[in-house]
Amino acid sequence: MGLTMSLSGCGTSGESEEVTLRLVAADYGDGAKNSSQKYWDEVVSAFQKDHPDIKVDVDVESWKNVDGKVAKMVKDDDAPDMAQIGAYADYAVHKKLYSADDVLSIPVQADFLPSLTAAGEVNRIQYGMPFAASTRLLFYNKTLFKNAGLTPPTTWKELQEDAQALKNRGVKYPFALPLGREEAQAETFMWMLSGGSGLTDNIDSYTLDSPQNQSTFTWLRDQLVGKGLTGPVAPGELDRADAFSAFTRGEVGMLNGHPTLMGAAQAAGVDYGMVPMPGKDGKAKSTMGVTDWMMAFKQHGHRKQISQFLDFVYSEKNVTKFSDEYNLLPVTDSASHAMSVDSKHTDLREFLRELPNSQLYPAGKLSWAQVSASLKQEIGSAVKPGGNPESVLTHIQREAAAEENAE
């Protein structure tokens, strides 16, 4: 998730003219009580005590609307000064953004986790600046596991055996596999990494139809879905939100989840555990990481003021405060260390350990938006009874290549 940071040395000494910055930001809350508007109001109020000549107007929008709102503002030739949204590559390619070098001090840039910095680059120049992050672990229902005499799986074989034992005891969703259109690209990516491949290779070329990925989805089709271990809803019809809700109702034995599931499970009284995602023959070499982005638009030319504000936003105090409020992972080393040694965040430590070595979506590729949409639309059919993973993955790979060639 991604705001930027700024040049602490960019002062405005000698300048008395008031400047108003506009930030459009996504809402991470689930209601008025914990709306992100409250967080930003507090940040802006503290910032303006030392910078009375810089006003900051923050417009917080739901995730459903925020990307579209920024796109319309840019189309109408009235870009905000900053936007904290889901994707930056299109604006970077069309030269709408300041680079991170333009608006971040060296200490601030150096404080970002390297894997997140790399994911914010287009043609090796960083434009997308991470704001908050998440990664994934395998959640399991401790009560259901205890009743079945099970231990958490470390391999695919153990996962399948545990799921079978849970099914034998009448568990509704032994393993919830949400490949519905809400977030199928995430579940897909996790399983690709677990199987030893991924979305792209070391030179950032798509590897969607790699032999390992074909093998992974063939295994899912035959060993989980085909054996009736994924519950009454077909994976291609199961959204992540519905899978999470089923977990909080005690109906799911295992599923891949992110940190926000912890709070929901605790509130529902579900006794849960978390372990790294099993790999084919042992712990997966890496897990999936996710970040949203902050970007700074060049249109109104407020680079110095943007820099001062973002430098304040990315202080350890503010990064930690935001991450703590929404059960998300901080994007800086300093805040990550602060949270990892704080006993209040014991439950987040495994997520924090996984994040530095996680792999992120290829967000710097313009083609990724269409590839993600294709995965949401098609991947569920690869694992249904009689599905053909090779055919589905090859088709999406060809679509990806066509998008790449069109850039």
Confidence band of 16 (pLDDT split at 50, 70, 90): low
Q: For the chain, give every residue range classified as CATH 3.40.190.10.
A: 19-134+290-360, 137-286+366-406
Q: What tens digit of pLDDT does each residue of 46-101 get?
A: 999 999 999 999 999 998 899 999 999 999 999 999 999 988 999 999 999 999 99
The pLDDT score that the predictor gives to residue 3 is 35
Confidence band of 203 (pLDDT split at 50, 70, 90): confident
Question: Residue 290 pLDDT > 50, yes or no?
Answer: yes
What residues are paired with 130 via a beta bridge? 293
Could you tell me the two tokens for 365? 């590729």
**Mean pLDDT, the chain, as a whole number?**
92
The pLDDT score that the predictor gives to residue 7 is 31
Alpha-carbon gap, residue 324 to 329, rounded angstroms: 8
Are 331 and 133 in contact, with CB atoms under 8 Å apart?
Answer: yes
The matching CATH number, chosen from 2.40.30.10, 3.40.190.10, 3.30.70.260, 3.90.1150.10, for 137-286+366-406 is: 3.40.190.10
The pLDDT score that the predictor gives to residue 407 is 65
**Percent of all residues in the chain with a pLDDT value above 70, rounded to a whole number:** 96
- The mean pLDDT of 228-251, rounded to a whole number, is 96
Of 317-321, 339-343, 402-406, least confident by mean pLDDT is 402-406
The pLDDT score that the predictor gives to residue 284 is 83
Fold of the domain built from segment(s) 19-134+290-360: D-Maltodextrin-Binding Protein; domain 2 (3.40.190)
Question: Residue 32 pLDDT > 90, yes or no?
Answer: no
Terminal CA-to-CA distance of the chain, rounded, Å? 25
Q: What tens digit of pLDDT does each residue of 139-197 get?
A: 999 999 999 999 999 999 999 999 999 999 999 999 999 999 888 999 999 999 999 99
Q: What tens digit of pLDDT does each residue of 257-284 get?
A: 999 899 899 999 999 999 999 999 988 8
Which runs of E-coded beta strand occur in 211-336? 252-257, 272-275, 288-296
Question: Residue 230 pLDDT > 80, yes or no?
Answer: yes
Alpha-carbon gap, residue 179 to 374, rounded angstroms: 12
The pLDDT score that the predictor gives to residue 1 is 38
- The mean pLDDT of 345-359, rounded to a whole number, is 88
The neighbour count for residue 282, using CB atoms within 10 Å, is 11
Alpha-carbon gap, residue 407 to 315, rounded angstroms: 37
Q: What are phi and psi of 289, to 5 degrees?
A: -115, 155
- The mean pLDDT of 9-31, rounded to a whole number, is 74
The pLDDT score that the predictor gives to residue 10 is 40
The pLDDT score that the predictor gives to residue 31 is 76
Confidence band of 120 (pLDDT split at 50, 70, 90): very high
The pLDDT score that the predictor gives to residue 15 is 47
